[in-house]
Structure 1
C-alpha cells in the first residue's frame, strides 16, 4: 500500500465547539472532567453548566452527576465538607432530590467518611427516601470501613520559569484536581523530564520505579518536599503525544486510507508543538512510513503486550490501558504509562472505581462487574487477562477508528453507564472494515480471541498475546498456524490424528511387505516348489502377529500424542513434554518398523531352513534375510519422513498455537536437521543395496524388470525423501521469526 497522505486532525478552541456525532460518552465525560479539574472546587455550583456540552443534551444527567462527584471530591481535598443540597439548590432544573442517582448519594457518603465524619444511614434515608433500601444494604458493608484522614490539598499551579527543587518548569503538559504534570528541565542531570507534582505521598505504585522495559515509560525517581506535603515524581519525557492522537486521525481519515504514515503524522505534529525536530535517518520511521495499517497496529500491539507481560511478572496490573495512556517517542515507539488523573483522565471515581481505576469503555467484563459490585464478583479477578482485554479494545479502536462493540441507549448515572457497557460486551463484535491485507485476518482473529468474555479463553499472558500478534507481521508463518480452509494441512489437521499417524507408519510397511512377499516368492520360493504352501502359511502367521503387535505399540506411543493434539484443537495448551513426545514419535515410528522387520529377517530364514534343510541352502537363507532387512530399512525411513512432515507442518504449529512460545524451538530445529540428514542418507543407500542384491543373483537376466523397478523406486523414493527434508527445513525457517530465540523480526524494534 502506498503511504497515505498526511491528514490534519480537526482542532477547535473548545472541546465542545465542534462535537462529532460519533463522540463516545466516555470521551465526552473525560473532556468535561479534565476541564473542571483545572478549576475545581467551584465557589458557585451554578458554574457547572459551563462544563456541559450543549450539543449533547441526552447525556446531561450522566455528565452532570460525574461533574458533581469531581467537584465534591475536590472540595473534600480542600477540607470542605461536600453537600449535595448545595448543588440541588443551585441547579433545580437539572438536579432533583427525588431523581438523584444512588451512586451520587454514596459519593457524598464516602467523602464525608474520608473527611473524618461518621454519617448515619438514617440521615440519608430521610434525605433520599427512594434509596432507603439500597442504603441499608450498603451501610451494612460500609460501616466496617473506618473513616480515613483528610487528604491534603492540591499543589499550586507553576508557570514557565518557576523552579521547584532540582527542576525548572518549561510548560504544563496536563492537570487534574489532585496533580499537575509539567515538562521540566532537571538541572543536575541536564535533561528534560515529565514532572508530576501532587499533594501528599503520591499514589503511583513504587514498583513502577523498577521497570526498565523499552515499552514502559521510565520512572526515574520521586521526592518529597515541604515536610512531605508535596510529592514530585519525575519520569521519561516523550514528545510524540499519545495513541489517542492517532485514533482521532484514523477516525477522521477512515481506516481504509491509513498506513504507518498516520502514526508518524501524529508524532510530527506533537514534535512541532514541543519545538523539536523529527529524528533524521531513522530506519524505524522509514519502515513505518511504508508499513500497511494492520501491520502497524500489530507492531504496536506486540510491544504493548510485552510491556504488560513485564509488569504482570512483577505483580503490577495496569487496569487502565487505553490510547491516552500510551505515549509515543519521536521515532514512533509506543510506551505504556499511567499518570492517573493527569494523563489518564478523571473518569470513573465512583464506588469501586476509586480502587480499581480504569475507563469503562476499555474495561473487560469482569472489571465492569467488579466496579459495579455485581454478586459473585471479586476485585482480585481483575488481573492479567483484564489488561489484555483492554489492550485488545485499544488495538481494535486503533485499527478501525472505533471500538469493537456498540453501546446503545443513554445513561442518567454511573450505574446506568456501567450497565450499558456490560450489555455491550455480551453482544457480537462489530464487523470490521477490511482493506484486504494478508495480515489483517491474523490481526482480527487474535483480537477476537482476546476479546472473549471468558478470561480463561483469552491469551494467558502478554507474551502469548505478543506471539500471536507477531504472526500478523509474518503472514507466511500465519498460514502454518492457521492453515487455509482448502490446504492439505487443514485437511490433515481435521482428520482423526490417530488415523493419520497410523497411516503414516503402516502404509510404507504394508508396501514394503507386499514387495518383499512377491520378490521372495518369485526369486526363491518358486525355485523350491515344495516350500510354496509352507511359505504362504508362514507369511500369514508372521503378518498376523507382527501387524497387530505393531499396531498396539503404535497406539501405545501414539495415543498420548493424539490426545494432546485433540486438546490443542479445542484451544488447549500443550506442555513441553507433549511437544517432545510428538517428535519422539517420528523416531519411534521408524524404529518400530525396523525392529519388527529385523525379527522377521531372522524368523523366515530360520523357519525355512529348519523345515527344508536340504532344499533351502545357506546362501538362499542369507539372501532371504538380507532382502527382509532392506525392506525393513525402507519401511523405517519413509515413515520417519512422513511423520516428521506431519509433525512439523501440521501438529507442532497447533500445539504451540495458544502460547506461541517454545523455549526449545531452536534446539528442535537443529535436531531435526541433523537427524534428517542421517535418514536422508539411509533413504539413498538402502535402495541401492537392494539393486546390488538383485544384480548379484545368477539369474540377473531374468530379473531385468525387477532391477528396472528397483532403480525407478530408488530415484522416486530418494526424491520424495529429499523433498520432505527440504520442506521440513522450510517450515522451521518460516516459523523462526515468530518462535526462535535468535529471531530477526521483519519489523524494527521487535528483535529479542
Structure 2
C-alpha cells in the first residue's frame, strides 16, 4: 500500500474543527448538534451561522467548551456540567458534579433526539449494562444510566489522565511501554470475554492512561452480551471505528464477531503505537472499509525501521484477516507480549514471502488464475520458439583433406604424400571458426 492511500481527506466540523470522514452527510459533527440542544437555541443559531461562514458566531460554543474551572456550563438533571473532556461520533463526555452525592464524575451524553429508535435505545442501555456488569481495575465503572430531554446519558468514574491517542501523539510511548499497555488491556479483555462481553470498538480514543501510566478501557458503546438473543446484536449494520475494525466486523455480519475481533482491535492499537498510523485509513468510510477487507497492512518496520521484528510479528498476527490465524484468546496475546518483554522466544512466527503470496492468492483468486494462465501461455510459446529453426544453431563449417595418391614410380615418395596431407591439416586447423576433419576420419575414403 502506498503512502497516498494512507492520507485521510480533510473535512472538518464547521463549529469545533473536528475532523470526520468526507462522506459524512452533515456539515458539522454530531457532538456539536448535541451541544446545540443542551445549551439552547442561541447555540443552534451559532452552529447554523458558522456553517454559513459567520465568524462572529463562533465564540458561543467555544466559550462553553473552555469554561473556567469552578464555573458551571449548564445543569443537566442531577448533574452540573463543569467542562468538556472529549467528544466523538456518539456524543460528548463532560466532567460533571453529581449534586445528590456531591462527587465529580465523567458524564457521557449521547444525543439521539428525534432519531432515537427502539433499537438505538436498546443499544445504549446494553452499553451501560455490559460495562456495569464488569468489575475490573482497568475497566471504567458505570455509576448511573438514564434518559433526559431526548438524550441518553450515563455517569462513570472520572479517570484523571489522557486518551491513548493524545499520549501517543506526544511521542511519550516507547515500544516497550506500548507492549506493556497492550498486554494489560489484553488481560482486561480476557476478563470481559470470560463473562460473555465483547467490546467491539477498541481504539486509542477509548483507552485512558491515568497519571500513573495505567490503562483504563472505556466506552463499551458497541459491546454486546454474547448469549443475548436481542435483535440489536443481529443487525447487519457495521459497528465500530473503520480504521481499527476487523474484517468480519467491516462486512456487517455481527454473528461472526467473536473475541478474535477484540484481539484484532488490540493489534490495530499496537500498530498505531509502533508506527503513528492506524493499519488502514482512506479518504472516506467506504475507502477505509475496502482497505480493511482487501489489503494487507504495511509492515511496521516500513514505517519505523527501528521497530523490533518480533514485536512487529506479534502485531501482524493480531491483524490477520482470518480470525482463526490470530491469537486464540486475548490472554494468549498477553502471554506472547510477556515473552517479548522478558526477551524470551515468542510463539508467533514471522510471515514469509511464500505465506504472503498464498494469502494474496486466496484474496484475489481471479487475478491469480489469470496470471497463472499468462505464465503458462508464455512458457508454452517460449518452448515452441526454442524448438523452432529460429533458435537452432547454424551448422558448423567443416573441411576434410583426403589422402594423396603417389603416382610416382618411386615407392619411397609415398611418405611424401602423407607429409603433405599432415601439413595442410595443421595449417587449416589454425583458421578460426573452421572445423577440420581429422586424418583418421577420412582414411576410409579412397
| Coarse TM-score class (shorter-chain normalised) | 0.5 to 0.7
Which protein is richer in strand relative to its size? 2
Q: Indicate the residue corresponding to 1:711 in structure 2.
A: none
The Cα shift of 1:402 comes to 2.8
Secondary structure, aligned partner of 1:453: coil
The Cα shift of 1:27 comes to 8.6
8 Å Cα contact 2:175-2:273 kept in structure 1: no
Confirm whether residue 462 of structure 1 aligns to residue 330 of structure 2: yes
Q: Deviation per CA, 1:25-74: give whole Å up to 9, x if none.
A: 55956xx3xx35x68xxxxxxxxxxx798xxxxxxxx9543144978999
Q: Indicate the residue corresponding to 2:246 in structure 1.
A: 364
Quickly say closer, same or farther: Cα 1:404–1:299, change in 2 above 3 A.
same
8 Å Cα contact 1:196-1:233 kept in structure 2: yes
Counterparts of 1:335-484 in structure 2, within 5 Å, are 335-338=216-219, 355-368=237-250, 370-371=251-252, 378-404=253-279, 411=283, 414-425=285-296, 431=302, 433-435=304-306, 440-475=308-343, 478-479=344-345
The Cα shift of 1:171 comes to 0.8
Secondary structure, aligned partner of 1:466: helix
Quickly say closer, same or farther: Cα 1:230–1:359, change in 2 above 3 A.
closer
Q: Deviation per CA, 1:324-357: give whole Å up to 9, x if none.
A: 111111111111112759xxxxxxxxxx999432
8 Å Cα contact 1:242-1:326 kept in structure 2: yes
Which of 86, 91, 96 is matched with 1:174 structurally? 86
Q: For residues 262 and 159 of structure 2, what CA distance do their matches in structure 1 show? A: 23
The Cα shift of 1:427 comes to 6.9
Counterparts of 1:163-242 in structure 2, within 5 Å, are 163-175=75-87, 179-199=91-111, 201=121, 202=124, 204-225=127-148, 229-242=150-163
8 Å Cα contact 2:200-2:240 kept in structure 1: yes
8 Å Cα contact 1:52-1:64 kept in structure 2: no
8 Å Cα contact 2:159-2:208 kept in structure 1: yes
8 Å Cα contact 1:295-1:472 kept in structure 2: no
8 Å Cα contact 2:95-2:106 kept in structure 1: yes
Quickly say closer, same or farther: Cα 1:224–1:72, change in 2 above 3 A.
closer
Q: Indicate the residue corresponding to 1:65 in structure 2.
A: 23
Q: Deviation per CA, 1:429-482: give whole Å up to 9, x if none.
A: 66353548xxx444222212222221101111111111111112211xx14868
Quickly say closer, same or farther: Cα 1:75–1:466, change in 2 above 3 A.
closer
Structure 2: gaps (5+ residues): 38-50, 53-63, 113-120, 223-233, 350-446
The Cα shift of 1:398 comes to 0.5
Secondary structure, aligned partner of 1:357: coil
Secondary structure, aligned partner of 1:193: strand
Quickly say closer, same or farther: Cα 1:418–1:465, change in 2 above 3 A.
same
> TM-score, with normalisation over the residues of structure 2?
0.56
The Cα shift of 1:185 comes to 2.0
Quickly say closer, same or farther: Cα 1:23–1:480, change in 2 above 3 A.
closer
Which of 188, 193, 197 is matched with 1:316 structurally? 197
8 Å Cα contact 1:404-1:429 kept in structure 2: no
Q: For residues 128 and 80 of structure 2, what CA distance do their matches in structure 1 show? A: 25
Structure 1: gaps (5+ residues): 1-20, 40-50, 54-61, 79-89, 92-156, 251-261, 264-292, 342-351, 372-377, 484-752
Quickly say closer, same or farther: Cα 1:459–1:481, change in 2 above 3 A.
closer
Q: Deviation per CA, 1:97-141: give whole Å up to 9, x if none.
A: xxxxxxxxxxxxxxxxxxxxxxxxxxxxxxxxxxxxxxxxxxxxx
Secondary structure, aligned partner of 1:238: coil
Q: Which has the larger radius of gyration?
A: 2
Q: What is the Cα-based RMSD across aligned positions, in Å?
A: 4.1
Q: For residues 89 and 277 of structure 2, what CA distance do their matches in structure 1 show? A: 29
Segment of structure 1 superposing worse, 63-72 or 235-244: 63-72
Confirm whether residue 325 of structure 1 aligns to residue 180 of structure 2: no
The Cα shift of 1:178 comes to 6.3
Quickly say closer, same or farther: Cα 1:452–1:52, change in 2 above 3 A.
closer
Secondary structure, aligned partner of 1:233: strand
8 Å Cα contact 1:319-1:356 kept in structure 2: no
The Cα shift of 1:300 comes to 0.2
Aligned length, in residue pairs: 295
Q: Deviation per CA, 1:580-628: give whole Å up to 9, x if none.
A: xxxxxxxxxxxxxxxxxxxxxxxxxxxxxxxxxxxxxxxxxxxxxxxxx
The Cα shift of 1:389 comes to 0.9
8 Å Cα contact 1:238-1:329 kept in structure 2: yes
Q: For residues 109 and 346 of structure 2, what CA distance do their matches in structure 1 show? A: 51
8 Å Cα contact 1:26-1:361 kept in structure 2: no
Quickly say closer, same or farther: Cα 1:430–1:304, change in 2 above 3 A.
same
